[in-house]
Structure 1
Amino acid sequence: RNLQKVGFYDPIKNQTYLNVPAILYFLEKGAQPTRTVYDILRKAEFFK
């Protein structure tokens, strides 16, 4: 099983890095984010 990193979230340092092109690619292919990932994307204003 291959996994591709599309970002990270560090709650202690309050850091978020998102690989937006990779996230868009997977969402367009039908990937469904987990509730936690969805919340991180929402906080980063990904869906605006």
Structure 2
Amino acid sequence: MLKLRLKRNGRKRQPAYRIVVMENTTRRDGRPIDEVGYYNPIAHKSVFDEEKIVKWLNCGAQPTETVFHLLKKCKIIKE
């Protein structure tokens, strides 16, 4: 099953995350199928490629709980 989830990057104690599409059995920092956004909790900055996200959601990819709340906050998902 495909998931929209966070992939950690950044330095120690300074996390930054990429929002990626990957298989749910792949490890957290494994190779993604597609990168669709960026989230930095320290700087409170998030960037999303809305077209790609909608495309993957229509293909059946399921967002994780955290990604769901980020997309809902940016009004990409309306529920």
Distance in 2, Cα, partners of 1:16 & 1:39: 12
- The residue that corresponds to 1:35 in the other structure is 65
Residues 1-48 of structure 1, C-alpha deviations (whole Å, 9 max, x = no match): 652110011011110100011101100000100001001101111124
Structure 1 stretches (4+) deviating beyond 4 angstroms?
Answer: none
- The residue that corresponds to 1:44 in the other structure is 74
Structure 2: gaps spanning 5 or more residues = 1-30
Say how many residue pairs are matched.
48
Q: Structure 1 residues 3, 43: closer, same or farther in 2, change over 3 A?
A: same
Q: Structure 1 residues 4, 13: closer, same or farther in 2, change over 3 A?
A: same
Structure 2 residue 45 is matched with structure 1 residue 15 = yes
Bigger proportion of residues as helix: 1
Look up the equivalent residue of 2:72 and give its one-letter code.
Answer: R
Q: Which has the higher contact order (CA 8 A, sep 6+)?
A: 2
> Percent identity over the alignment?
38
Bigger proportion of residues as strand: 2
